[in-house]
Amino acid sequence: KQEVTQIPAALSVPEGENLVLNCSFTDSAIYNLQWFRQDPGKGLTSLLLIQSSQREQTSGRLNASLDKSSGRSTLYIAASQPGDSATYLCAVKNQGGKLIFGQGTELSVKP
């Protein structure tokens, strides 16, 4: 059974810091991995989608990497800003077709 783990559960950093969020999964037979952002009381917004054949994806200050063999993905946020404060979730798409979510990392960027 696929399990997705995100560590840490919560992270607080000062504005301007570069930071890394971690996501690990137990079954490497995946179609893709997706990173989402969720603001309080809101739905999830897709940030980056990495197909199983890809190693990384970039969008602005965000860079996500995927290492299928070790069952790991990282989301790198450069020059963090208070507006980046949110919960970040990763999700893997199994080859069975189901999307399995991690529990998220709650990020707080202090001015």
Partner 1 sequence: NAGVTQTPKFQVLKTGQSMTLQCAQDMNHEYMSWYRQDPGMGLRLIHYSVGAGITDQGEVPNGYNVSRSTTEDFPLRLLSAAPSQTSVYFCASSYSGGANTGELFFGEGSRLTVL
> Could you list the residues that contact partner 1 (CB under 8 A)?
31-32, 34, 36, 41-46, 49, 51, 89, 91, 93, 95, 97-99, 101-104
Based on CB atoms, which residue is closest to partner 1, 50 or 77?
Answer: 50
Check: CB of residue 71 under 8 Å from CB of residue 25: yes
Query: Counting Cβ atoms within 10 Å, is residue 85 exposed (0-12), middle (13-18) or buried (19+)?
Result: middle
Based on CB atoms, which residue is closest to partner 1, 76 or 101?
Answer: 101
> Which two tokens mark 69?
């063999």
Based on CB atoms, which residue is closest to partner 1, 13 or 49?
Answer: 49
